[in-house]
Amino acid sequence: MDPITHTAIGLTIAQAGGKRLTKNWLPVIILAAGAPDGDVAFAWPGSLDALQWHRHFTHSIFFAPVLALAVVLFVKYVLRRELQFRGAMILALMGVLSHDLVDLLTFRGMRLLMPISEEVFAMQIASFQDPVFYTLLGLGFAIPMLSNLVNQEIGSRKSSGVVSARVILCLCVMWFGVRYLFHEQAVAELNSRIYNGRSAKRVAALATTNPLRFVGLVEGQDFQKTLELNLLEAFDPEEGQPLYRPVPSVESGRAMRIAGNSRSAQIFLAWSRWPRWQVIRMDGETRWVVSIEDIATEPNRKRSRVVIHLDENYAIQSEVYERAKGFLGL
């Protein structure tokens, strides 16, 4: 999710009662809600290294207390704000964990158990732009403001906004519960069909802005494909162009192995959930071009990929990372 969303969630948590834990709660919750994305400092945004470090150890639940402590110490000793240390730690930890929870809902997920495990956990039920979620968070700020304006006019006591914030958080949980049910239905639909005469080896459903519409990903014995799936419409498993896997010869297989061991390929493959390999020999030449692209994106849109060029002796000449704008990645 984007930084504004993470900040809004943190502020809603504070409004729901978290701000009572300490004085000067505002910088604590704002910094804590965005702290896990501090991993962007390890690489230039949009670079290949960003794939390696983003949603890395800073998103691990075991690192959450460290981030919370760092936020509290920064506010106390750098910003020089008075805090109740225990309450500030609890609030900061709530902010960090709220960030992790929301990222867990997305397709890319995160390495939740580092350093114990490198496994990526992802519920895959939330899109990176969810208008219903945004609306609910917006109401969390609008309702207390409107309520206080009305109370001011009639001379009533100012509302704390605690009840409305808690209701909004409950509605957010319920909304993602609905998203979960829709996602499970989409995955079941994909699994129940036959593709090119065979059952799929694995499938996935990427959530989109429309909670009833998904981008289906299918992997067969010798192909992959992306197709559109709308739960309100009939689903045709024959739609979408199959992307066939290359059948490597001895020479092309060697090129793929060497390219796959390159640094760029290793980073990309660790990030990509649905990689597609291609290998070609330049016309009239002995050079090789190996590309690995991530098909987990909207159909007919440019995909992120790495391209490795090898010479006639299979020595790597160049490694290029091409990042697609607006891709379902970070």
In this prediction, residue 329 carries a pLDDT of 44
Measured CA to CA, the distance from residue 32 to residue 3 in angstroms comes to 11
Tell me the pLDDT band of 104, cut-offs 50, 70 and 90: very high
In this prediction, residue 151 carries a pLDDT of 60
For the chain, give the mean pLDDT. 88
Question: Does pLDDT of 285 surpass 80?
Answer: no
In this prediction, residue 47 carries a pLDDT of 80
> What number is the average pLDDT over the span 91-105?
95
In this prediction, residue 327 carries a pLDDT of 41
**% of the chain at pLDDT higher than 70:** 92
Q: Is residue 145 part of a domain?
A: no
Question: Does pLDDT of 96 surpass 90?
Answer: yes
- Domain with 188, as residue range(s), is 177-243
In this prediction, residue 42 carries a pLDDT of 75
In this prediction, residue 142 carries a pLDDT of 82
In this prediction, residue 155 carries a pLDDT of 58
In this prediction, residue 328 carries a pLDDT of 42
> What number is the average pLDDT over the span 145-167?
71
Lookup result for tokens 């010869």: 249
Domain boundary among 217, 243, 269: 243
In this prediction, residue 1 carries a pLDDT of 73
If one compares 108 and 156, the residue with the highest pLDDT of the two is 108
Q: Is residue 313 part of a domain?
A: yes
> What number is the average pLDDT over the span 277-303?
84
Distances (CA, A) of 58 to 13, 161, 177, 330: 21, 31, 26, 14
Measured CA to CA, the distance from residue 211 to residue 49 in angstroms comes to 32
116: left (phi over 0), alpha (psi -120 to 50) or beta: alpha
Measured CA to CA, the distance from residue 256 to residue 289 in angstroms comes to 9
Domain boundary among 90, 122, 154: 122
Rg (C-alpha) for the chain, rounded Å, is 24
Q: Is residue 76 part of a domain?
A: yes
Q: Is residue 147 part of a domain?
A: no
> What number is the average pLDDT over the span 264-288?
87
259 shares its domain with 310: yes
If one compares 143 and 93, the residue with the highest pLDDT of the two is 93
* 252, 279 contact by CB (below 8 A): yes
Q: Please list the alpha-helical segments (H only) found in the chain.
A: 3-15, 25-34, 48-53, 64-73, 85-104, 131-154, 162-191, 250-260, 263-271
107 shares its domain with 204: no
230 shares its domain with 286: no
Please state which of the ranges 109-118, 155-164, 292-301 shows the lowest mean pLDDT: 155-164
Q: Is residue 144 part of a domain?
A: no
> What number is the average pLDDT over the span 218-234?
92
Q: What is the pLDDT of residues 34-52, one digit of tens each?
A: 999 988 777 777 788 888 8
210 shares its domain with 184: yes
Tell me the pLDDT band of 149, cut-offs 50, 70 and 90: low
5 shares its domain with 100: yes
Measured CA to CA, the distance from residue 68 to residue 33 in angstroms comes to 10
In this prediction, residue 330 carries a pLDDT of 45
Burial 180-193 (b: 16+ CB within 10 A, else e): eebbeebbebbeee
> What number is the average pLDDT over the span 164-173?
92
In this prediction, residue 159 carries a pLDDT of 59
Q: Is 77 in a helix, a strand, or coil? A: helix
Q: What is the pLDDT of residues 176-208, one digit of tens each?
A: 999 999 999 999 999 999 988 888 999 999 999
In this prediction, residue 156 carries a pLDDT of 60
Measured CA to CA, the distance from residue 327 to residue 330 in angstroms comes to 8
Total-model pTM = 0.86
**Tokens representing residue 271 in the block:** 């990030």
In this prediction, residue 158 carries a pLDDT of 61
Q: Is residue 142 part of a domain?
A: no
In this prediction, residue 325 carries a pLDDT of 62
Q: What is the pLDDT of residues 41-82, one digit of tens each?
A: 777 777 888 888 888 889 999 999 999 999 999 999 999 999
Q: For the chain, what is the domain count?
A: 3
12 shares its domain with 116: yes
In this prediction, residue 34 carries a pLDDT of 94
Handedness of CA 40, 43, 47, 48 (dihedral sign): negative
If one compares 35 and 3, the residue with the highest pLDDT of the two is 35
